């Protein structure tokens, strides 16, 4: 039922997708149910924050009220950030359950909430990659709302004036998307860093940035593939997303395992241990590796003194043996019995 977990590869490998898929196949219902609970909770929080949109829709002058439209835009962006924050915690719960599957145990849904006290750490790590692009999105939304206000306040609106608005707003959206696309690899491994190495928010971002620089090309391409998969799943009535999101999350966890060479289960912890700090790698200065590393060549044990041999031990070839040769006049025993 359970597959043997893989050891860290020490490099980026696309096989993490198939490995993550095999892990989720063990108990897909648990992962789907937990993702559904977390996504619904995040969506509820985002809708509470986005509540001013209701007043805009109910107000007959909402579309011509620039200040109301601008405020509504700001709250809409905050609602999206809240949803991303909640999904960051969902990712940590998925990683907990995936780690249990690697230990050949079936996960339970409550186990995904074990690290609720670190909610804000995972939330910040998940949101950090999107915050950089938010100013561009905000500028596009506000510029569009102000231009729409001026056009609709005219007695005879000239909609041709909205063409520059669409060009400017569209350019800003595209620029924000490009910034997100090019910078996301530096933040892609922040949540796995916080989970695997139990780092705080600041150290998780720093660790992810270092790994992003080292594997930028692979992480950029993987982010594109993961984004396409997520978008395709969201387009199918969101139901496939409940499986795809854990799949991609576990894939990022396995990528972190491979590029850092850190095991996720104790079965491989000894294989990656070294007698020196991990940050030195194999280049620790003035270190005699042969003096402290465990021997693996099975050296020959030193000879055991003859007086320490037990009665059950075989005698050594160097130990003097008593002379058991029979004397010359000794008569060998006869094999025949008397008649």
**Once rounded to an integer, what is the mean pLDDT over residues 132-145?**
73
pLDDT of residue 251: 96
Mean pLDDT, the chain, integer: 77
Of 86, 2, 24, the C-alpha closest to 246 is 24
Determine, yes or no, domain membership for 290. no
Nearest-5° angle of CA 239, CA 244, CA 249? 140
Least confident segment among 21-25, 52-56, 286-290, 312-316: 286-290
Number of domains in the chain: 1
pLDDT of residue 192: 96
Q: State the Cα–Cα distance between residues 97 and 8, nearest whole angstrom.
A: 19
Determine, yes or no, domain membership for 165. yes
Determine, yes or no, domain membership for 137. yes
pLDDT of residue 132: 84
Determine, yes or no, domain membership for 317. no
Contact 273, 284 (CB under 8 A): no
pLDDT of residue 67: 58
Contact 258, 214 (CB under 8 A): no
More confident residue, 211 or 239: 211
Range of the structural domain that residue 95 is part of: 16-267
**Once rounded to an integer, what is the mean pLDDT over residues 299-309?**
47
**Once rounded to an integer, what is the mean pLDDT over residues 121-138?**
87
Determine, yes or no, domain membership for 142. yes
Least confident segment among 25-29, 52-56, 106-110, 154-158: 154-158
Residue 168 pLDDT > 50? yes
The secondary structure of residue 297, as a DSSP letter, is: S
Determine, yes or no, domain membership for 256. yes
Determine, yes or no, domain membership for 68. yes
Q: Model confidence over 2-43: pLDDT tens digits?
A: 666 677 888 888 999 999 999 999 999 999 999 999 999 999
Residue 275 pLDDT > 90? no
Determine, yes or no, domain membership for 66. yes
């Amino acid at each position: 039922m359970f597959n043997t977990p893989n050891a860290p590869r020490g490099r980026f490998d696309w096989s993490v997708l198939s490995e993550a898929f095999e892990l989720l196949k063990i108990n897909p219902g648990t992962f789907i149910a937990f993702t559904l609970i977390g996504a619904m909770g995040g969506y509820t929080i985002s809708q509470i924050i986005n509540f001013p949109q209701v007043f805009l829709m109910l107000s007959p002058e909402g579309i011509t009220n620039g200040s109301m439209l601008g405020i509504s835009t700001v709250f809409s962006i905050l609602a999206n950030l809240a949803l991303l924050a909640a999904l960051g915690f969902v990712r940590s719960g998925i990683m907990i359950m995936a780690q249990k599957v690697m230990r050949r145990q079936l996960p339970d849904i409550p186990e995904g909430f074990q690290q609720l006290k670190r909610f804000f750490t995972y939330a910040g790590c998940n949101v950090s990659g999107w915050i950089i692009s938010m100013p561009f999105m905000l500028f596009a939304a506000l510029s569009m709302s102000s231009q729409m206000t001026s056009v609709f306040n005219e007695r005879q609106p000239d909609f041709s004036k909205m063409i520059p608005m669409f060009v400017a707003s569209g350019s800003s959206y595209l620029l924000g998307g490009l910034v997100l696309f090019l910078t996301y690899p530096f933040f892609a491994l922040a949540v796995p860093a916080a989970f695997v190495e139990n780092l705080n928010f600041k150290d998780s971002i720093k660790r992810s940035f270092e790994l992003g620089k080292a594997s930028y090309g692979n992480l950029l391409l993987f982010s594109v593939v993961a984004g396409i998969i997520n978008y395709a799943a969201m387009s199918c009535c969101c139901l496939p997303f409940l499986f795809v999101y854990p799949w991609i999350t576990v894939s990022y966890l396995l990528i972190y395992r491979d590029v850092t060479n850190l095991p996720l289960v104790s079965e491989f912890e000894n294989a990656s241990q070294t007698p020196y700090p991990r940050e030195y790698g194999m280049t620790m200065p003035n270190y005699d590796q042969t003096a402290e590393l465990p021997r693996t060549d099975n050296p020959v044990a030193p000879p055991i003194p003859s007086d320490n041999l037990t009665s059950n031990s075989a005698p050594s070839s160097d130990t003097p043996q008593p002379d058991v040769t029979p004397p010359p006049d000794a008569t060998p025993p006869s094999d025949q019995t008397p008649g």
